[in-house]
Structures are given as C-alpha cells and as structure tokens.
Structure 1
Amino acid sequence: MPQLQIFPVLRTLGFVFWLSLPLIGLIFWLGSSFVGDKILSRDYDHKKSLQADTQMAWQMKRKLVAIDVEILPQTGISLVRVKTNHSTLKTMMFEFAITEPSKLEAKLSQELGLSPERVKELIRYRPVDHQD
C-alpha cells in the first residue's frame, strides 16, 4: 500500500515531465552535433572572393597614371613609384634589385599585371644625381 500513495505525490510534482527533460536534452544534443558536423564538413565556395580580387586588379590597371623610376647603379637598386588616380590608393612604392631597364620593365609588367607596351607608355626614368 505505501507504494500506491507515492504515485499521486509523484504526479503532483510532475515526475513524468522531469524524467522526459534529460531525454529531450539528449535528442537536441545529438541532433545539433549531427547538423554541425554536416555544415562544417561542407566545401566552401571561394569564387565570389576571387571575382572581387580580379575586379579590383582590373580597376587598378585602368587607373594607373605614371610610373617613375629612379635607378641607383652604385647600390644596384631601382626605386619605382607608381601613381594612380584611384580614390584610396594614390601611390605604390616598389624597390627592385634590378638596374637594367628592359628587365625592370618586364618585372613591372609582371608585378602590375600590365602588358609590356602599357608599361613602356607609362614609365619615366628620372636622372640620378651622382654625388661622389
């Protein structure tokens, strides 16, 4: 008989509700880990960011104004200043360990993504004052 008196007390405390909570929690935990694994193991598509990068490079090619070169033969270095009419990037500075103009033009063409003819149109060599 004492067992029969316990059941009404357990029902008033919501025994069935409290026993089902851990089961519900376990189901949510397993379900969320399954969904998380599926999402994290999915491949990420990089095409959008690459398109943005190529678009920025194309805009920079279009907006180059001048390439000023100062060759320092005594140190074996060429200082290059690329001027643009871009709204945020006005000047780019490069330093190359090249003093021969044809090799320098080829390297600039490669670095800036321009054709060699376009580099020859924009490039200006500044004379170096020799101070001995």
Structure 2
Amino acid sequence: MSLPRWLQKASSLNLDFWLLLPILALAFWMGGEVISDRVLSRPHGIVTELEANQRTQIELSFTVQVIQVLIDKNRGATQVKIKTNDSELKKLEFEFPTTEFEQVEKAIALELGLSREDVKRLARYQIED
C-alpha cells in the first residue's frame, strides 16, 4: 500500500524533526527559567556588612621634613602643609580653626603623633594680618 502523495512529501521533508524542535525549545526555556530562579533566589553568605557609621583609623608611618604654618588672622584659621620624605606620601595638608601658636602646635602634634618640641623644631611660621 502506497502512501498518499502529500504524506510522501511530508516524510521527505523530515516533518517529524521540525515538529519536535519547538517542543525541545519550550523544554529548554522552561528548564532554564527554573534553574535561574533557584540560583538567583538562593541566599548568599555575606560575611561582612558595610558599617558606614564607624570611623576608620589609619596608621601611617612617615618622617616629617618641614612643617609650613600659615596663620590667617582675618579668617581666624591656620593652614598647615607638611612635607615628608616618604616616596608615596609626599605632602599632608591640614586646616585648624585657631590662630594661637600653642593651640596650633598642640593640634599638629596630636594629628601627627609627634611631641610639641619636634613640632616647634620643624615648624616654619608665616602670619597674614
């Protein structure tokens, strides 16, 4: 028994393959969705949390060469520039809201971790009225 002509043409076009292809695509799509859903909804083990409200202290070690102090009496502030001999940290700048020598020296000593005698020895003052 021979098949009808249109069925012979369909079998020669591999129609069974072309009908199976959308079913396979649908299976891959649904399987991929299930897998990505599981991966993305899985809890991740975050060990450290961001703590933005805590101050961070950094310890730096350098040798101070010169401390240039510019006291601006009009503004009531003092600008301090510190030159170091460190290869990575060449210069530090501070501004203090005072114009009194003792208070400026005390603030510099506190910021740099030096004694007041070392600050007096290294400091070069300039006063602007």
Tell me if both proteins adopt one fold, taking TM over 0.5 as the criterion.
Answer: yes
CA gap of 1:109–1:120, structure 2 versus 1, over 3 A, is closer
1:128 maps to 126
Structure 1 spans left out of the alignment, 5+ residues: 47-52
2:16 maps to 11
Structure 2 spans left out of the alignment, 5+ residues: 50-55
CA distance in 2, matches of 1:120, 1:70: 18
Percent of residue pairs bearing the same amino acid type: 22
- Partner of 1:128, secondary structure, is strand
CA gap of 1:12–1:128, structure 2 versus 1, over 3 A, is closer
CA distance in 2, matches of 1:121, 1:32: 66
- Partner of 2:35, secondary structure, is helix
Count of residues in Structure 1 that have an aligned counterpart in Structure 2: 114
Cα shift readout 1:16-75 (whole Å, capped 9, x = no counterpart): 243121221221133124323436x542537xxxxxx86xx43x3x21314332323343
Task: Please tell me whether the aligned partners of residues 67 and 122 of structure 1 are also in contact (alpha carbons under 8 angstroms).
Answer: no
Given the two structures, how large is their TM-score scaled by the length of structure 2? 0.59
- Partner of 2:126, secondary structure, is coil
Task: Please tell me whether the aligned partners of residues 105 and 119 of structure 1 are also in contact (alpha carbons under 8 angstroms).
Answer: no
Cα shift readout 1:108-131 (whole Å, capped 9, x = no counterpart): 455x4x43xx15254244343566
